[in-house]
Structures are given as structure tokens and as C-alpha cells.
């Protein structure tokens, strides 16, 4: 078909030609693809005009393909099979044999709390699935839409919604306070509101913004605190606390991991603050919603988040 543009061709003719070459009979070809004999004859006439070749001619015992038609048969069959495969629904995901790279945007909180368990599951169940974890930035919705990220793990923010963004809550977290064992407040029976407000603090601020949950809670009570240092990484902040008389309000799951090796004391925040904690959500885009591979990875993330929830609940009691 040298010089022929596909846009100008009725692609149904290619289906008809495949059937005609396979059956070598207009009647049988018509039955094979579910059209009338008249329609099949008309299709053959159009194909002859399009190719400038007779394609099928009378022979002993029926119709036989021309040399040109013989050469077209196998490539045409392969092309149609490729099209059928492209347009067919994807098959079931096979974790054991899959080869896939998934991009996750998140903070060091999820890296510490969820990533070890997620990777243990992947190594065991899907060794060919690779993760690439990227630092989450503002505007994750656009990165999900563009395909730069497959999944984002983060607290739900109004600014991160938008067309095509789906989300699911996966983990509830609460706040605790950390202090070094020799900190004057660590020796008190309770961390009172006045003592808390008078202390110097470490602030975890991933995007470099002032304030947060604690400052909003203090402001509602007409109070302020002294933030001596703000750091972007939750896993760095406890190390700062370990070498100073600063106080840190941090997610409990981070505190439970880092407090013992650093010799820190876990304290309950003053109840007057009413710190409700926060929710971690998983966000993804509609474009990957029905992809079996990425749906399987999302299920792994949810399973690990559920396991983390059960672990803290069983260990939680007195802070």
C-alpha cells in the first residue's frame, strides 16, 4: 500500500481482507466476520481498487490469493493481532513475574513508618517491582496528573485536590512530645500547658513555613511558644532534641522508633491543646486508577498502613 494514508482507509477493509485470505471464499469470509455476502463482495471490490491488485482470483477448487495477497497475509495478521492486544483489557497482574517501576512522593514520616514494611512485602511477593521515592513538594496533584508520580502519601490538603485526583485515608496519627531524659520537664509528673508554652521548641516544617498544628492550638488559647529551630525533616528533629533542652511535638510513630536509641522521654501533650493528630492519605490520579499493576501496589500500601495501625494500637497505653 505504498503511498496510502491510513486516515483515508476504512480499517474494516483490513479485517475483511484478513478473513478473505484465511477463508479463500467470499461466503465463508462474510460468515466469519458477521457481515452479508454482498457486503463481503463489496469489500473485496474496494480492496482491489485500493491495492491495484486482484488479491483473490478463480482457481481450481475455489479462490486463490495472488502473489501480492500472499505477501500481505502474514504481516496483516500480525498487525491485527497487535491492535487487538492493544485495545483489549489488561490481564491480571502477576506480582511474581512483573517488571515495574513505581514513583511515590512522600515525606520522611512515611519513609520511616511505611516504607520498610512495604519493601519487605515487595521483596517477598513482587521482586521485580521497584520503588522510586521522591521528596513530596507542593503541587503534587499536577505531578500525579503528569505521571511524574504514581502515588502521593501525605496529609489531605485542600490545595492538593483537583480534577481526576482520587484519595483514600490510610493511617491515623496522634502527637506526642519528646524531651531528653535530663530535660527539667521530663522529671515532672505531667507536661502542663504553662510549662509547655514556656519551653523552647523544635518545629518540623517540611516546606519552610512558620507555625503549624501546635501554634494554631496555642493561638486559640491566647498563647505563643518560642521556636528555637525549624527543620524540614521529622527524623532529624529528635536528634536535635537529644542534645538540647528543646521540646519537640512529633508524630507518635516517629517517637516510638527514635526515642529509645536517642535516650528520649515520650510525654503526653497538655490536654488543653486538644491536638487531634493528623491523617495520612494516599492520593493517585484517575489515569492510573484502573491499571492492575498500580492498583496492586496501592493495595500493598494500604495493607502495610493497616498493619502499622494495629501495631500502635496494641502497644499504646500510657504515653
Task: For 224-262, write each residue's pLDDT tens digit.
Answer: 999 999 999 999 999 999 999 999 999 999 999 999 999
For the domain made up of 100-173+279-315, give the CATH fold. Answer: D-Maltodextrin-Binding Protein; domain 2 (3.40.190)
- In degrees, to the nearest 5, what angle opens at C-alpha 246 toward C-alphas 245 and 248? 140
Quote the percentage of the chain above a pLDDT of 90: 65
Please write the tens of the pLDDT for every residue from 86-117: 776 666 789 999 999 999 999 999 999 999 99
Please write the tens of the pLDDT for every residue from 134-155: 988 776 778 898 889 999 999 8
pLDDT at 187: 83
pLDDT at 210: 85
Burial of 11 (0-12, 13-18, 19+ CB in 10 A): exposed
User: pTM above the 0.85 mark?
Assistant: no
pLDDT at 319: 41
pLDDT band at 208 (very low <50, low <70, confident <90, very high): confident
Considering only residues 211 and 241, tell me which one the structure prediction assigns the higher pLDDT: 241
Compute CA distances 182 → 185, 187, 193, 244, 288, whole Å. 8, 8, 20, 9, 51
> Across the chain, what does the average pLDDT equal?
88
For the domain made up of 175-276, give the CATH fold. Answer: D-Maltodextrin-Binding Protein; domain 2 (3.40.190)
- Rounded CA separation 122/229 (Å): 38
- pLDDT of 291 above 70: yes
Domain boundaries, the chain: 6-87, 100-173+279-315, 175-276
pLDDT at 245: 93
- pLDDT of 303 above 90: yes
Fold agreement (100-173+279-315, 175-276): yes
- pLDDT of 315 above 70: no
As a whole number, mean pLDDT of residues 56-72 equals 88
Please write the tens of the pLDDT for every residue from 26-44: 999 999 999 999 999 999 9
pLDDT at 84: 80
Write the class of the CATH domain 6-87: mainly alpha
pLDDT at 96: 93
Angle between helix 26-33 and helix 12-23 axes, rounded to 10 deg: 130
Radius of gyration of the chain (CA): 32
Amino acid at each position: 500500500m505504498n503511498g496510502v494514508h491510513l486516515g483515508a482507509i476504512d480499517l474494516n477493509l483490513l479485517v475483511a481482507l484478513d478473513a478473505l485470505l484465511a477463508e479463500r471464499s467470499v461466503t465463508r469470509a462474510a460468515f466469519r466476520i458477521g457481515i452479508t455476502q454482498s457486503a463481503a463482495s463489496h469489500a473485496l471490490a474496494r480492496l482491489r481498487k485500493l491495492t491495484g491488485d486482484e488479491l483473490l482470483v478463480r482457481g481450481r477448487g475455489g479462490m486463490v490469493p495472488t502473489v501480492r495477497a500472499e505477501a500481505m497475509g502474514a504481516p496483516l495478521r500480525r498487525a491485527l493481532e497487535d491492535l487487538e492486544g492493544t485495545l483489549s483489557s489488561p490481564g491480571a497482574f502477576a506480582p511474581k513475574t512483573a517488571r515495574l517501576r513505581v514513583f511515590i512522593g512522600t515525606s520522611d514520616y512515611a519513609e520511616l513508618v511505611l516504607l520498610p514494611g512495604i519493601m519487605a512485602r515487595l521483596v517477598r511477593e513482587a521482586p521485580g517491582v521497584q520503588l522510586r521515592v521522591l521528596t513530596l513538594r507542593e503541587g503534587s496533584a499536577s505531578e500525579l496528573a503528569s505521571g511524574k508520580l504514581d502515588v502521593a502519601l501525605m496529609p489531605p490538603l485542600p490545595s492538593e485536590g483537583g480534577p481526576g485526583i482520587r484519595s483514600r485515608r490510610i493511617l491515623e496519627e496522634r502527637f506526642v512530645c519528646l524531651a531528653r531524659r535530663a530535660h527539667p520537664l521530663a522529671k515532672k509528673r505531667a507536661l502542663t500547658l504553662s510549662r509547655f508554652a514556656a519551653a523552647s521548641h523544635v518545629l518540623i516544617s517540611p516546606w519552610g513555613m512558620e507555625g503549624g498544628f501546635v501554634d494554631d492550638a496555642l493561638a486559640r488559647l491566647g498563647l505563643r511558644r518560642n521556636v528555637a529551630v525549624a527543620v524540614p525533616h521529622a527524623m532529624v528533629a529528635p536528634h536535635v532534641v537529644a542534645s538540647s533542652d528543646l521540646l519537640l511535638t512529633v508524630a507518635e510513630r516517629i517517637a516510638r522508633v527514635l526515642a529509645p536509641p536517642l535516650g528520649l522521654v515520650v510525654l503526653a501533650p497538655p490536654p488543653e491543646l486538644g491536638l487531634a493528630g493528623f491523617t495520612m492519605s494516599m492520593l493517585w490520579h484517575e489515569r492510573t486508577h484502573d491499571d492492575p499493576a498500580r492498583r496492586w501496589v496501592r493495595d500493598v500500601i494500604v495493607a502495610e498502613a493497616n498493619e502499622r495501625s494495629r501495631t500502635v494500637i496494641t502497644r499504646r497505653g500510657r504515653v
